[in-house]
Amino acid sequence: MWCSRMALRQLQRFAATPLTGGLTSNALREMSTLQRVYVTRQIPPEGLRILRESGQVQFELWDSDDAPVPREELLQKVRGVDGLVCVLTEKIDTELLDAAGPNLKVLSTMSVGFDHLSLEELKKRGIRVGYTPDVLTDSVAELTVALLLTTSRRLIEATHEAKTGGWGTWRTLWLCGHELTNSTVGILGLGRIGVAIAERLAAFKVKKFIYADVAPRPELAGLINAEYVSFDELAERSDFLAVCCALTPETKEICNKDLFSKMKSTSIFINTSRGGVVNQEDLYEALSTGQIAGAGLDVTVPEPLPTDHPLFTLKNCVILPHIASASYTTRNAMSALAANNLLLGLRGEPMIKELKL
């Protein structure tokens, strides 16, 4: 399992290995056969450096990190490209693939999730897909723990009270929250990130880790001494429930009123996976009626969540703007991996991380 710092160093060294079959960069630039690539966002500098120094491609990019490339411009820019580097804000569907045309052979997404990709359409056209798992495991796990603690110990409420004059005399139960010691932590979808979260939470003297998944994961579960339970039992037993599953047709809105109704009134619900796995109306009802104690969300539907959304009115709901992988090291590692995946794919070689369609 990579950590992001080690991964970035490995990817930097990997990129230093010539990907040009022995030809110099100058020689390749003089050739008319340089492959065309479009990059849909100003990705972090390591990835751009790798593409620029590869001598293998000529690329154009949407030179902004503040807003996605407009759809109409994207459809124009992808025409005739051999490769495409995208992020999760771009919907890669039939319309876009038709606009790109038959030259498109490789798509590299700077994300671990792929619900923005039309996988069946990509498979039908024989387009290879690279993605960036593993390198963001540590930063997502760190943020999940931070969000869990922020929510359970009511830090946002406490900060607001301190700033706005609510901090008066000491009170016995004012701003009390729920602690991890001797608790049961549930994980929905046990993968690399779920394991990394549990490894960090173990230091807080958690009593028990439990998990639910489509099937037992004994190898991963053994790393954290976690017990496999049913979905209902996960809801009933968890003092803290962390959602780590991918968004699929099967998991869409799997966290709904049925789940929340089985949870303890003292439970804390945390989601750093995908917003689509949660029915937000049901979550609002559970939080506003005291069915559960609190929720921390790094992902929502839509993104950004409108500022007048009812969830923003709740003191017991902490909402972050999808920043789980937002560390300099991790984002550069993701960028470098996306660039290397693209270059290797265009050469017809195995990618470092390829999505098997």
The residue annotated as part of the active site, out of 116, 160, 309, 322, is 322
Determine whether 178 is an active site residue: no
Alpha-carbon dihedral sign for residues 295, 298, 300, 306: positive
Classify 86 in phi/psi space as left (phi over 0), alpha (psi -120 to 50) or beta. beta
First to last CA, the chain: 23
In contact, 355 and 114? CB cutoff 8 Å = yes
Please name which of 311, 333, 292 lies closest in space to residue 10, comparing C-alpha atoms.
Answer: 333
Q: Which residues pair with 106 in a beta bridge?
A: 83, 128
> Which amino acid, 188?
L
Query: How far is 284 from 155, CA to CA, in rounded Å?
Result: 20
Q: Token pair for residue 36?
A: 């065309």
Query: How far is 67 from 304, CA to CA, in rounded Å?
Result: 12
SS3 at position 60:
strand
* Residue length of the chain: 357
In contact, 257 and 222? CB cutoff 8 Å = no
How, if at all, do strands 83-86 and 128-130 pair?
A: unpaired
In contact, 281 and 260? CB cutoff 8 Å = no
Q: Which residues are catalytic?
A: 322
